Amino acid sequence: MKRIMLVCSSGSSTSLLVKKMQEAAQKKGLTDVEIVATSQAEAKNHYDDTDVLLLGPQVRYLYNELKKTLAGKKIALDVINSKDYGTMNGEAVLEQALKLAEKKGEGE
């Protein structure tokens, strides 16, 4: 099971994107993917069961801090593409997350 966590300021703006990503996963027949949204304040409570952490563009400033925090943990980290986020392109963001998970699994 791959767990993808989307993080934004409050967790509410990423909720719609999560739905779109879940729909895309369903269309692809992916049953081993769990996608959740949370606020930046709550994110730390979910590190232990997360494989991919994607930051909303509005909290991209957290990237360097999180990179240090997550060092040594097997969590892939990236910022969601602004265009994909703005258009709520769940399929593209899901692909981004799956590629990150694959790279992390290869030991990057």
Q: Which residues are catalytic?
A: 8
Please state, in angstroms and rounded to a whole number, the distance separating the CA atoms of residues 44 and 54: 13
Collapsed DSSP state (helix, strand, coil) of residue 76: strand
Collapsed DSSP state (helix, strand, coil) of residue 99: helix
For 88, the token pair is: 């709520």
